[in-house]
Amino acid sequence: MASQSTADKDALDTQAVNNFREYLRIPTVHPNINYDACVKFLENQAKSLDLPIKVYHVVPKKPIVIITWTGTEPTLPSILLNSHMDVVPVFEEKWTHKPFAADLDEQNNIYARGSQDVKCVGIQYLEAVRRLKRDGVTLKRTLHVSFVPDEETGGVDGMKQFVYTKDFQNLNVGMGLDEGMPSSSEKFAMFNAERNIWHLIIHCPGKPGHGSLLLDNTAGEKVAYLLNKFYNFRKQEQQKLKDNSNLTLADVTTVNLTQMSGGVQTNVIPPEFIITFDCRITPQHDIKKWQETIDQWCKEAGPGVWIEYEQKEDQVTPTKLDNSNPYWLAFKDATDKLGLKVKPVTCPGGTDARFVRMVGIPAIGFSPINNTPLLLHNHDEYLGVDTFLKGIKIYCKILVSIGNVEEKTE
């Protein structure tokens, strides 16, 4: 007969998996998300944990949900455990399981959109808190478990605005923990910085006319000049990766042409072409110089070329990973004691952690997922039950460590 402690553990594991699958079945999928069912689910979770919950609305119909576990020294700066509720669209015909059914297969894998990105992390936070509370653990610092909207569309109506509100300031956040990235190896990726996102919409006006003519100052000539400049730069960044095996994608700046528009018919030279670039700028790349470079390219391309910025982020200082950051030391101490191989890297994409760093708060991105194929935004996204449950244990150790960081004195 199983011992009581084993029975309790099995019951907690079953509850955690059930909660995870229930959360995954809520289709908070873009576009036009209704977050009501998600908020209701989180209200039930807070009730089961006997913890208070608050729902903030910086933007109507875009709730920010925060469940709070108050520490024994609540005046100390708190820890923010953040994840996002929204998920990217699916192409259901490409899936072997229904993307919002949270099916459990014979290999004990849970298939669903959001299983890796990033509903797993939100539930793992809560289940770690559940275990710590059950074991009578207390933390000095308050933990705020936040669930935010619209991260997958840039965080514009979520964390990006929330960090500048009085409600966020009242949380007294000292350190943020956010999502990382699954790893296909034994190592875990850990983000302390992110590339800055610039989305450039470049307008190239020119002289219109009949398609049989050789006019000067056409829109097409300007596009050709700019494409040549951007793609030569792109090749230089690709070469950096080829020349140095220690570099990762996040260590270089990427530019990709993602949209082109203009023209009405084949025999008419149009008055304008518009080209759009997705640009991700590494922290090592001086943003001021990059701005000067692309402005110069536009000037050289010809008269009238101008840039519309769909998104343009300022350079953000990476979170320090040295003795000056007690939260990093506490995080590292926990992962070292667990024997985890953690590799600090720059996030190649973008997460809500960048907005926390923007207001001067150190933030670490970490998802306790290794030995798992990277399936973010891909078909048949899944997470193994064993990996999910192991992640809860990892968070238990991390939360105790960062939640008991001594007050920093100058």
pLDDT reported for residue 186? 96
pLDDT reported for residue 349? 84
Do 343 and 191 touch, CB atoms closer than 8 A?
no
H or E stretch at 392? helix 385-403
Strand partners, 343: 189
Residue burial 298-317, b: 16+ Cβ < 10 Å; e: rest = beebbeebebeeeeebeebe
The terminus-to-terminus CA distance of the chain in angstroms comes to 55
pLDDT reported for residue 1? 38
Split at pLDDT 50, 70, 90, the class of 369 is: very high
pLDDT reported for residue 9? 85
pLDDT reported for residue 4? 52
Q: Dmax over Cα atoms in the chain, in whole Å?
A: 89
DSSP letters spanning 48-96: HHT--EEEEEEETTEEEEEEEE--SSTTSPEEEEEEE--B----GGG-S
- Flag whether pLDDT at 56 surpasses 90: yes
- Flag whether pLDDT at 359 surpasses 70: yes
d(CA 47, CA 44): 5
175 phi/psi in degrees, rounded to 5: -155, 145
Q: Of the candidates 296, 215, 287, 283, which has an alpha carbon nearest to the alpha carbon of residue 251?
A: 283
Do 365 and 191 touch, CB atoms closer than 8 A?
yes
| pLDDT cut 90: percent of the chain above it | 93
Split at pLDDT 50, 70, 90, the class of 3 is: very low
Q: Which of 117, 127, 150, 151 is catalytic?
A: 151
Q: What is the pLDDT of residues 98-124, one digit of tens each?
A: 999 999 999 999 999 999 999 999 999
pLDDT reported for residue 408? 63
Find all residues with CB under 8 Å of 354, minimum gap 6, and list them. 194, 196, 313, 316, 363
- For the question of residue 308 being annotated catalytic, the response is no
Structure tokens at 29: 């999928």
Cis-peptide, bond into residue 31, ω within 30° of zero: yes
pLDDT reported for residue 66? 98
Q: What is the pLDDT of residues 69-79, one digit of tens each?
A: 999 999 999 99
Parallel, antiparallel or unpaired: strands 363-366 and 188-194: antiparallel
State pTM to two decimals: 0.90
Split at pLDDT 50, 70, 90, the class of 161 is: very high
- For the question of residue 151 being annotated catalytic, the response is yes
- Domains recognised in the chain with CATH numbers: 4-194+316-403 (3.40.630.10), 196-312 (3.30.70.360)
Averaged pLDDT of the chain: 96
Q: What SS3 class is residue 350?
A: coil
d(CA 248, CA 241): 7
Structure tokens at 159: 């964390």
Q: What is the pLDDT of residues 187-228, one digit of tens each?
A: 999 999 999 999 999 999 999 999 999 999 999 999 999 999
How many Cα atoms sit within 13 Å of 154 on the Cβ side?
11
pLDDT reported for residue 19? 98
Structure tokens at 142: 């308050």
Split at pLDDT 50, 70, 90, the class of 410 is: very low
Q: What is the pLDDT of residues 259-296, one digit of tens each?
A: 999 999 999 999 999 999 999 999 999 999 999 999 99
pLDDT reported for residue 5? 76
pLDDT reported for residue 409? 45
C-alpha pair distances (Å), 249 with each of 168, 286, 291, 316: 33, 17, 21, 18
State mean pLDDT over 303-316: 94
Radius of gyration of the chain (CA): 24
Do 122 and 145 touch, CB atoms closer than 8 A?
yes
